[in-house]
Amino acid sequence: MLRSVTLGLVLSVLVAACALFSEPIPAGTVAVQIVVANNSGQERVVSVVSGTDPTGDAIPGAVQPSDAFPANSEANVTLYVPVSGAWAILIPGWGTIPSIELTSIRACRMLVIDIEADAGSGGLGCGTP
């Protein structure tokens, strides 16, 4: 009896601890696995915005596990993009990448955001960085 109570207490603590470290999934979004290749020579922040206005508000938690990418780095991330309506990927100081249809995203084996040193060069595509 004491063992089952202890086990239940330990599991409860573990579940609570996991909740502290993972961000919630934004409502009305779908997960997209992506590689961010930051070849720009400086840190870049990637966010997802609703609509096509690059000055729009970023969707909180839309880039996980982190939205900051050090210079000359590559990372696997999950983007949470809206299921319906327009959206864009915003990279301040570099540019904006307009949304593509989810069917096109699913047809791609590996989706890559390639951030080059020249503002706006690179972009979103299939393949390897």
pLDDT in tens, 97-124: 887 766 666 677 778 889 998 876 778 7
If one counts the domains in the chain, the total is 1
Torsion 95-98-102-104 (CA) sign: negative
Q: Does residue 93 sit within a domain?
A: yes
Q: Which tens digit of pLDDT belongs to each residue from 22-65?
A: 678 899 999 989 999 999 999 999 999 988 676 778 899 999 99
Residue 9 lies in a domain: no
Residue 86 banded pLDDT, cuts 50, 70, 90:
confident
Domain with residue 52: its CATH number is: 2.60.40
* Strands of the chain, DSSP E: 29-38, 44-45, 47-50, 63-64, 68-69, 73-82, 87-91, 95-98, 111-115, 122-126
What domain range is 71 assigned to?
Answer: 25-126
